[in-house]
Structure 1
Amino acid sequence: MTGTDVARLTRNRNTPKRATLLELLFDLVYVAAFALLALRLAGSVTWHGVGGTVVLLMAVWWTWSITARVTDFYDPQKRPIEVVIATTMLGTALMTIAIPSAFTQHAAVFAGAYVGIHVVRGGVMVSTLHHARRRVARFQFWFGMSGILWIVGIFVGSPARAVLWTSALAVDFLSAAIRYPTPGLGRVPTEQYGRTSEHLAERYQQVVILALGDLTLIAALTFSRLGFDLARVVALVASFAMMLLLWQLYAYAGGVVSVLVSRRNPSTGPRLAPYTHFLMVAGVVAVAAGSRLVITRPTGHTPVGWVCVLFGGPALFLIGRTIFEYAFAGRLSRARVGWLIVLIVAAPSTTFLPPVFVTVLASVGMAGVAATDHLSTLGKLPRWLDPPASQQ
């Protein structure tokens, strides 16, 4: 392939910034993945269960994030990139199927699909982009390091498997954060992170919408098989309200901030967005798991693990959203930090309440966040709650 052919695969000013239909189809695979992860968490709200779900979510999220980055740098309407998207869809579908038993009988399916996604993508890119092999080689070097840990994890017992897979994900997440330093090749240049950020911002907005849609889906499906009673209806309404409140929190200058700031500081947005959005998506998965638990049993004693999910999910989303705005816009909302402290402090005292009251209180707390956001836009918050003048 000539240099001209390579250039045709790279995004340029004439490439549409909107996501393609294939990208939207690709995102739909993750609806099932997020839903199964939420169900897995709801089925085991223990340290072991939460830890396993986090590991699987990190792996699922990383396949989406890396693919979004590829389609942001290269034109997703070109055949080689479409092949990358399609094969990643297949690999993600296999990972999704294996989620319920990923640490037991289907470990080979989950780990093999995860590693296969990166191997196939690298093979397609190397065979197609001869003049970009240095760029691809950096990614493949680090994915090769993590891939060894994934594969070895298949052949060991469950505790050791969890340690190896966690280490593999640490390699993936940390190597990306430090721009894939590779012997003989150096790091990925920072200017390569600044292309077509409008497209990347839209991709992140879409995946947040899909995750929030899963929250409604799980609540509705759980409710439909159990029937109507007052406590369960209240839990369903609280779940729906939480979905709207989380969207409101994200939509408050969410995508706009990432676009505007990426133009001012091109490398910031694409490098930090995977981590801040991972926290938000993890928060939504936890909220969905909590909704299933409460709708299934809205009355009676509330276990400590349930409280951690019901309050921890919104808190995690709020942490991700607050870091997101601070990183992109240099604004730290004191009001949001205050509400985060309220959620953390209030959570332990709710163990004496029925689950339906706990989920209502969590929704009330997020309503307070949304209200202060609204008052902030109107300039009606006390000055000590506003971001510092130097950060506005």
Structure 2
Amino acid sequence: MAGEDTAALIRQPDAPKRATLLELLLDVVYVAALALISMRLASDVTWLGGVRVLVLLMAIWWIWSITALLTDFYNPEQLRIQLVVAWAMLGSVVMTAAIPHAFIDHGWLFAGMYVAIHVGRGIMLVSLLRGHEAQARATRFLVWFVVSGTAWIAGAFLPNPLRLLLWGIALMIDYIGGALRYPSPRLGRVPLAQYDKGSEHLGERYQQFIILALGDIILVPVLQNDGRGFTAGRLGGLLLAFATMLLLWHIYVYRAGAFLQVAITKRPGRATRWAPYTHLLMVAGIVSTAAGFELVINGNRTRAGLGWVLVVVGGPTLFLIGRTIFEYEIFGRFSWSRLLWVLVLVGLTPLVASRPLILAASVTGAALLGVGLSDAVRAKGRPSPVERSEQP
């Protein structure tokens, strides 16, 4: 039997829903990581460069997602859980520093820290929870991360493209394992009831991360300023980046920002399981959008080219797709107006490829404004998610 000391590690239903200061500090590390990934994409706008960026992003995102799930299931006010979070933070700092060289000469550092974060966390939790029923949950996670860790470490010592291939396989193991609820020998899967423990705290964590990540749309092009100052074109690009950031924020938090909070409250198990995957699309969209505005503001092409336009247009498109899928999975409601605007963006992409890149960014911004107006028209006269949740 587990003692009261061990049981205190599990979050109680009446625990505070607000994120701790340590969790907010953790987010700052990941905002820096996303900024570096955006810069990497802007410096290598090729199909291979895009795949590499996707692998780096998926690795960084999975660490954050699992840590958010950890602090929602366990009590983040407990010192021992805070040490687990601090371990993830330290490893993430090292991984972030290794991002520019992950596919060159520091692959072992990036992969090694990824594995150390997950496996180290699992070992610590299995040890801390000895005698408690939650130990089985930690063990399931640990088993899967040991399996994927083998591919991560092996890939780190192989040349490209084998490194990219093995890391991609490792990520598929991680993401599929999460989707299947980490089935393990003799232990089975994580019970659905444990996902139903998802609270408003988890919804708040995702909202906080998205809001902080949106700041990279301004941060990345400003950090990459090469010292040439701001021409009228550059200033216009910065203002357009600011407008795009606000529009994406509005689309995400539209209707009092209650969308995700209500989803977690009304259908916690489904929301908890789907949020990491749909939000990955939104985060990828933010990364691409930030890279796109770095190209808009600091690029020196008179004609954009299809690759650059795909970065600029593809970012908001991915964001819209992720937001739409998540809404459908939670509420069973599909936004056809958003799909229409996605089709408009896809259709216009080849038409603006031979034009200045700021035209593609302007067209994309206009489409996002259209999404916001369409949402307002569609929702006119309907109760908000908060109002619907309060109805008997």
Higher helix residue share: 1
TM-score above 0.5 = yes
- 2:372 counterpart residue number: 370
- 2:296 counterpart residue number: 294
- 1:123 counterpart residue number: 123
Tell me, yes or no, if the aligned pair for 1:298 and 1:355 is still in contact at 8 Å.
no
Q: Give the unaligned 5+ runs of structure 2.
A: 383-392
Structure 1 segment 300-379 matched on structure 2, within 5 A? 300-379=302-381
Give the TM-score taking structure 1 as reference length.
0.94
1:224/1:252 CA distance change after superposition, 3 Å:
farther
Q: 291-300 or 219-228: which moved more?
A: 219-228
- 2:36 counterpart residue number: 36
CA distance in 2, matches of 1:357, 1:298: 14
- 1:9 counterpart residue number: 9
1:76-106: CA deviation from partner (whole Å, max 9, x where unpaired): 0101110111010010001100001101101
Question: Structure 1: which amino acid aligns with 2:76?
Answer: P
Tell me, yes or no, if the aligned pair for 1:212 and 1:284 is still in contact at 8 Å.
yes
Question: Structure 1: which amino acid aligns with 2:167?
Answer: W
Question: Structure 2: which amino acid aligns with 1:268?
Answer: R
Structure 1 segment 166-181 matched on structure 2, within 5 A? 166-181=168-183
- 1:387 counterpart residue number: none
Q: What SS is found at the alignment partner of 2:258?
A: helix
CA distance in 2, matches of 1:17, 1:306: 42
CA distance in 2, matches of 1:344, 1:254: 30
CA distance in 2, matches of 1:248, 1:296: 26
Give the TM-score taking structure 2 as reference length.
0.94
Tell me, yes or no, if the aligned pair for 2:197 and 2:268 is still in contact at 8 Å.
yes
1:112-151: CA deviation from partner (whole Å, max 9, x where unpaired): 1000001210121011101232111111111011000001
- 2:58 counterpart residue number: 58
CA distance in 1, matches of 2:56, 2:366: 30
Structure 1 segment 1-392 matched on structure 2, within 5 A? 2-130=2-130, 131=132, 132-223=134-225, 225-253=227-255, 256-297=258-299, 300-379=302-381
CA distance in 2, matches of 1:369, 1:193: 32
Tell me, yes or no, if the aligned pair for 1:222 and 1:295 is still in contact at 8 Å.
no
Q: Give the unaligned 5+ runs of structure 1.
A: 381-392
Q: CA deviation at 1:166?
A: 0.3
Q: CA deviation at 1:358?
A: 1.3
1:19-75: CA deviation from partner (whole Å, max 9, x where unpaired): 001111111101110000000000001011000000000000000000000000001
CA distance in 2, matches of 1:290, 1:169: 26
List structure 1 segments (4+ residues) > 4 angstroms apart after TM superposition: none
CA distance in 2, matches of 1:114, 1:299: 37
Question: Structure 2: which amino acid aligns with 1:247?
Answer: W
CA distance in 2, matches of 1:367, 1:312: 16
Tell me, yes or no, if the aligned pair for 1:290 and 1:309 is still in contact at 8 Å.
yes
Tell me, yes or no, if the aligned pair for 1:41 and 1:289 is still in contact at 8 Å.
yes
Tell me, yes or no, if the aligned pair for 2:253 and 2:259 is still in contact at 8 Å.
no
Tell me, yes or no, if the aligned pair for 1:226 and 1:296 is still in contact at 8 Å.
no
Identity of aligned residues (%): 49
1:246-293: CA deviation from partner (whole Å, max 9, x where unpaired): 000101148523332333323101100000111001000000000001
Q: 268-277 or 228-237: which moved more?
A: 228-237
CA distance in 2, matches of 1:65, 1:253: 25
- 2:387 counterpart residue number: none
Q: 55-64 or 326-335: which moved more?
A: 326-335
